[in-house]
Chain A
Amino acid sequence: MSLFIESTGFGIVVASILSIAAVGFTLQWGVTNILNLAYVDFMILTAYLDYSLTQVAGLDFWLSAILSVLAVGGLSVAFNHFLIQPFVRRGIKFFYLLIIAFATGTVLQYVIQSIWGSTFFNISVGGNQSYDLGGMLLTESQLIIIGMALVVMFSLHMLLTRTDFGRSMRAVAINPVLAQCSGIRTAVVLNATWFLTGVLCGISGLVLAFNTATFDVNTGTVYIAQILAAVVLGGIGSPYGAMLAALIIGLISEWASAFINPFFNVVVALIVLVGVLLFRPEGLLRSLTTSSGGGTS
């Protein structure tokens, strides 16, 4: 029983990381209709930038975290503006867009490897003293991660529902032409969406690196499967679905790895993914951004 409660605690931590990543991924996919396989490489790039800013440049912890997250947001906009949009204006097929995103991710991964080398790095937040919360043993750093996830989710909710930007983003996702006719500058909204999702991607990369003891260039690649599982389970383009799905995936994968086999955390998440794709492709919740529940062609 104590093993169950402990693994539940770890599951909540995993779910916090996964929810930030999955919400960013689902918004990107829902609004721009691009399956961005480079997402995980942008995630891990944030961790490397943060490492360099704190360890090499010697900046303050929170300052360097904010700077690296903003830098990845900017790179994400550049990726969209200079690579994706020119191809989209040519009317390129989705298959090629998938390949372009894949190529960008690969190039990014090996650029990181040739700059920083393929050794393991370590960044951390908070201390290692653990707190006993009803049987769940969580370290200070894990509590900070959960707190960050809650803050991000709340501010994202406010942004999507209470601001003009959030509403115009949803409008662009549903019908870009109609949105343009209504006076929304769709190119600006798209770039802003890429910035927002890039920032979410950066934050998730940071908390992922905080939670794992060490990271290297492949830490992200392993993660794409779980992000996809949460995104598809939640319904593509649905941020609240992604949050719920991240919680479900995080919990069951930690339970599976505690009770069956440590390797099973990924397997269970992916079996859920395959099952959802086969039997309920629209996901758990109706999409917030699109009326039909999926942002894909």
Chain B
Amino acid sequence: MTAFLVTMGIYFFIDLILVLSANLQLGLMGMANLGFVLFLGIGAYAATVFSIGPEPANSLQQYFFGVALPFPLPIILAIVCGMIGGLIVGLVSLYRMRGHYLAIITLAILTICSTLVEGYPKFLGGSNGLTGIKQPLASLTSSYNGYQLIFLGLSAVLCLAAFLFCQRFIHSPLGRMAKAVRENESAVTTLGINPFRVRLLATVCGGGMAALSGALLAEYVTAWGIAPWSFTEIFPATAAMIIGGRGNNWGVALGTFMTYVVVGEGLPFLPGISADPELGYAIQWIIYGVALVAFLWFRPSGLLPERKGRWKHAPEFVPAMVSAPSDLPAAATIAEQVAQEGVHASDQ
């Protein structure tokens, strides 16, 4: 039971990093990046190539390059590769694309990359994938359960770092700017903000975090291939984001827990489903889809909605301005109203 909980915790942290990075792009910025899983794959392949060591002479699997770097380097290099990938995709697509066109071009870039990897088995293992990926910190302990705990700690620390990064990103002037770009691009442009730069920054950061998630996933499972790299994998992440509350990191964490842990891991325990894993998988995805549409209809802002920014000192400040004359009830009423509601800061 403990082992099961530990495994579930590891998956929760890995998935949470992915959903947080999806939230930066799809939630905070409202960019329809359908090829988002590309960065997950980049991170996983980079972590693999930088940790697996050179290709053995007579091995069944083929790949290029391949070095065995010590622990933190493969993960760091994976993040860097993901950020470079985000930069390239952003420069190609974001400058001129909006809306539907952005969705199509990102989907196209993802499909080109995954088909190229599949079509050239000598490049990164092709459709057979790569196995035998070295696990980080494996030398610390020899027992299986001990290592699970170490990996749980590693993923928890990295996930916490990603969470804090997202909190800083969203609750900063940059985050307010990002929300403003999402809500009204033309208005933001008139204020002298370049929407392209904000979008590019979100893509680069989101790419790095998704790559971190992919690197951890590949190193935990010790195998990676084409199958978990299809564009439909963005769907559970989107469902988690919208169910939890897009733009709100705590909401995203709750949504990840609800979708990946409660539905994803709890469903197989139901009688009748446990016998047929394939049916259970299908039902899991059907639940994601139905829940997503239901949430969009009944509660579009999610379980924990994105909070509007408030000006905290408004109550003390505003009544002082319209202090004295009692023969101005209208002004006083307005001031009270303003004081009660608080002054909405620039972000909506």
Q: Please give, as numbers and ranges, the residues of chain A lying within 8 Å of B293 by CB-CB distance.
A: 83, 100, 103-104
Question: Would you mind naming 10 contact pairs between A and B with Cβ atoms under 8 Å apart?
Answer: A87-B297, A106-B235, A106-B289, A107-B286, A113-B278, A118-B278, A229-B108, A266-B111, A270-B111, A277-B101
- Is the pair A273, B108 in contact by a Cβ cutoff of 8 Å? yes
Counting CB contacts under 8 A, is A65 at the interface? no
A162 within 8 A of B: no
Residue B96 is within 8 A (CB to CB) of chain A in the complex: yes
Whether B107 contacts A99 by the Cβ 8 Å rule is: no
Q: Could you tell me which B residues sit within 8 Å of A by CB distance?
A: 26, 30, 32, 92, 96-101, 103-105, 107-109, 111-112, 115-116, 118-120, 230, 232, 235, 238-239, 242, 278-279, 281-283, 285-286, 288-290, 292-293, 296-297, 300
* B119→A100 contact, CB < 8 A: no
Residues of B within 8 A of A232 (CB): 104
A114 interface neighbour in B99, B100, B282, B296, Cβ under 8 Å: B282
A94 to B31, CA, bound (A): 10
Residues in B neighbouring A281, C-beta threshold 8 A: 96, 101
- Shortest Cβ distance from B111 into A: residue: A225
Q: Across the interface, do A263 and B108 meet the contact criterion of CB distance under 8 Å?
A: no
Q: Which residues of A contact B238 (CB under 8 A)?
A: 99, 102
Q: Among B99, B112, B118, B290, which residue has its beta carbon within 8 angstroms of that of A271?
A: B112
Chain B residues near A274: list those with CB within 8 A.
92, 105, 108-109, 112
In the complex formed, the residue of B with least CB distance to A224 is B107
Size class of the A contact interface (CB-based, 8 Å): 35 or more
A-B CB pair tally, cutoff 8 Å: 121
A266, B116: Cα distance in complex, Å = 10
Chain A interface mostly? helix
Query: Are A264 and B119 in contact, with the CB atoms below 8 A?
Result: yes
When the two chains form their complex, are residues B99 and A92 in contact, meaning their CB atoms are under 8 A apart?
Answer: no
Judging by beta carbons under 8 Å apart, are B286 and A111 in contact? yes
- Extra contacts, 19 of them, besides A92-B300, A118-B278, A267-B116 (Cβ < 8 A), are A35-B103, A103-B290, A106-B286, A107-B289, A109-B285, A110-B282, A110-B283, A110-B285, A111-B282, A113-B278, A228-B107, A232-B104, A261-B120, A262-B119, A267-B112, A273-B104, A273-B108, A277-B97, A277-B101
